[in-house]
Amino acid sequence: MERLAHMLSSPAGRRILVVGLARSGRAAALVLAARGARVVATDRRAALEGLEPLRAAGVELALGADRPELTAAAELVVLSPGVPLAAPVPRAALAAGVPVLGELELGARLCGLPLLAVTGTNGKSTTTALCAHLLARAGLAPFLGGNIGRPLCDLLLLPEAERRACRWAVVEVSSYQLEHLSAPAALAPRVAVWLNLTPDHLERHGSLETYAAMKRRLLEGQDARAAAVVFRDDPVVSRAAEGLACRVRGFGHAPAHLAADDALIIQERRQGRRLELGALGLRLELGNPRLAGAHNAENAAAAVLAVLEAGADPACLQAGLDDFPGLPHRIEPVRELQGVRWVNDSKGTNVDATLKSLGAFEVPVVLIAGGLGKGTGYLALREAVRQRVRHLILLGQDAPRLEAELAGCAPTHRVADLAAAVALARRLAEPGQVVLLSPACASFDMFRDFEQRGEVFAELVRALPEGA
């Protein structure tokens, strides 16, 4: 750790290899080059666009194949999140004793700001964005980034005045990024949030236990001055919070788990949901439709506790909850057409996310699902589909498995693509119902990412004619 800290404190002249040239890798390469490092950047893809800024910064490019031989000259290897440690280049670096870390840790070590970091299987992006929104409302200007789309290293590339105005770095953190820590406790956020844990990314981590261990790394580097915010209703998360050096604050629906004064309780009410924090006598109403559903109440509770730990004025919180605009592709209203609401939840890339999204609606749903499966199966969806779904429209690589495992729960229709799914949903949906795109699958069999899938869905829906 001391060797790494010394290297990053004075990177000029150091030979540093950056692996993976998506957004995170490019930002890391530019930051290191700006500090005088001799940067080589590699990607197995040969055809990449937009590399001119890297060339202009003096970054040497090695494209088109895995290049483990490049580690022989490297003093440090920096990974993009999509590059697993088992890939040829990081594997060669680790075997040779070359330090390896991810772009997130690099940005955290260099940015000089306190870190508010959010992880979990579902709800990370909404909670992270809400934390940033609430901090901004409280006058604690945040930088928002991480796995939510903007690399943390981008903070270091901002104009100086803009960078100096930031008081917090608010980041969404994935298990992939936590896998890349130079040591399990290498990240030390001032405030850490762990929302939940359900099976996901098992194709990379191998087991649920390993996946949980990756998530816990977010909290392991915190000391007594830091705080961890955890979902007490999730037994895995609650158990994992035991034995930490930091202060632990809990939230949840079940009062039995939340006896301490520093716990925030989600109360169900006829008019909606309310958050109550006994220690401050704080009561906050959740009436914003972009925070609908029990899962968004959990996201809001986590965000409120986190920003309070970051020093936000409690008086600013209600207004911040009320005017939070939400995020694209997360239970995003697209259109109402002849009494039918169309909702884009393309970020529902696993079973638990789709379960939560279905739970946000009290009216019948026409569900569009399917895509690239994650190997976890769909049996957990059966009861929710039986209760809430009037028609199930399936597409993509895992459509046959979805159809088999959800057989008998709702009338099922197979289609070739998203355009056909939207056209069929238009014919099937009745006034008062919702057409929900929440695939329970990744998008990569048919789309670049979930954002593109959601954008295509929204375009198709907006293009539907008003007439029957």
Output the domain CATH number for residue 86. Answer: 3.40.50.720
6 lies in some domain: no
pLDDT digits (tens, 9 = 90+) for 51-91: 999 999 999 999 999 999 999 999 999 999 999 999 999 99
C-alpha to C-alpha distances, 117 to 148, 183, 240, 317, nearest whole angstrom: 11, 17, 17, 19
Q: Which of 321, 307, 291, 323 is nearest to 135 (CA)?
A: 307
205 is catalytic: no
Do 234 and 165 fall into the same domain? yes
Count: domains in the chain: 3
Do 148 and 222 fall into the same domain? yes
Do 228 and 278 fall into the same domain? yes
Contacts for 448 with CB less than 8 Å, ≥ 6 apart: none
Q: What does 215-282 look like in DSSP terms, one character per residue?
A: HHHHHHT--TT-EEEEETTSHHHHHHTTT-SSEEEEEES-GGG--STT-EEEEEETTEEEEEEGGGTE
Do 21 and 120 fall into the same domain? no
User: Quick one: pLDDT at residue 180?
Assistant: 96
In the chain, the amino acid numbered 270 is R
End residue of a domain, out of 39, 74, 98: 98
C-alpha to C-alpha distances, 211 to 200, 202, 208, 214, 378, nearest whole angstrom: 8, 7, 5, 5, 19
Do 297 and 385 fall into the same domain? no
Do 253 and 348 fall into the same domain? no
C-alpha to C-alpha distances, 416 to 90, 217, 281, 436, nearest whole angstrom: 39, 41, 54, 18
User: How many Å apart are CA 361 and CA 388, to the nearest integer?
Assistant: 8
467 lies in some domain: no
In the chain, the amino acid numbered 374 is K
User: How many Å apart are CA 431 and CA 63, to the nearest integer?
Assistant: 53
Structure-block tokens of residue 74: 């490297």
User: How many Å apart are CA 370 and CA 421, to the nearest integer?
Assistant: 11
Do 253 and 146 fall into the same domain? yes
Per the residue annotation, which of 147, 196, 296, 299 is the catalytic one? 147
Do 269 and 121 fall into the same domain? yes
User: Quick one: pLDDT at residue 100?
Assistant: 97
User: Quick one: pLDDT at residue 2?
Assistant: 79
> Residue 290: which domain range?
105-322
Do 193 and 248 fall into the same domain? yes
User: Quick one: pLDDT at residue 203?
Assistant: 79
Global pTM reads 0.91
347 is catalytic: no
**Chain centroid offset of residue 297 CA:** 17
User: Quick one: pLDDT at residue 149?
Assistant: 81
Do 21 and 157 fall into the same domain? no
End residue of a domain, out of 286, 301, 322: 322
C-alpha to C-alpha distances, 173 to 176, 195, 224, nearest whole angstrom: 8, 11, 21
End residue of a domain, out of 61, 83, 98: 98
8 lies in some domain: no
User: How many Å apart are CA 366 and CA 416, to the nearest integer?
Assistant: 17
Per the residue annotation, which of 124, 253, 295, 391 is the catalytic one? 124
- Domain at 220, CATH number: 3.40.1190.10
User: Quick one: pLDDT at residue 256?
Assistant: 67
288 close to 350: Cβ distance less than 8 angstroms: no
Phi/psi of residue 361, each to 5°? -120, 140
User: Quick one: pLDDT at residue 259?
Assistant: 61
Average pLDDT by stretches of 10, the chain with 468 residues: 86 97 97 98 96 98 97 98 96 97 98 97 95 98 95 98 97 96 96 92 84 96 97 94 95 74 78 83 92 93 97 97 94 96 96 93 96 93 98 98 98 98 98 98 96 98 88
Q: What does 385-427 look like in DSSP terms, one character per residue?
A: HHHHEEEEEE-STTHHHHHHHTTTTS-EEE-SSHHHHHHHHHH
Strands (DSSP E) found in 94-141 = 100-102, 115-119
Q: Which of 286, 272, 360 is nearest to 323 (CA)?
A: 286
Name the burial class of residue 52, with classes exposed (0-12), middle (13-18) and buried (19+) by CB atoms within 10 angstroms of its CB.
exposed
User: Quick one: pLDDT at residue 260?
Assistant: 59
How do strand 115-119 and strand 168-172 relate by DSSP bridges? parallel
343 close to 436: Cβ distance less than 8 angstroms: yes
2 lies in some domain: no
User: Quick one: pLDDT at residue 275?
Assistant: 93
User: How many Å apart are CA 213 and CA 22, to the nearest integer?
Assistant: 26
- Domain at 437, CATH number: 3.90.190.20
178 close to 202: Cβ distance less than 8 angstroms: no
5 lies in some domain: no
215 is catalytic: no
Do 277 and 417 fall into the same domain? no
- Helices 124-137 and 294-309 sit at what angle, rounded to 10 degrees? 50
Q: Which of 228, 225, 226 is nearest to 173 (CA)?
A: 228
Do 125 and 84 fall into the same domain? no
Per the residue annotation, which of 122, 133, 180, 201 is the catalytic one? 201
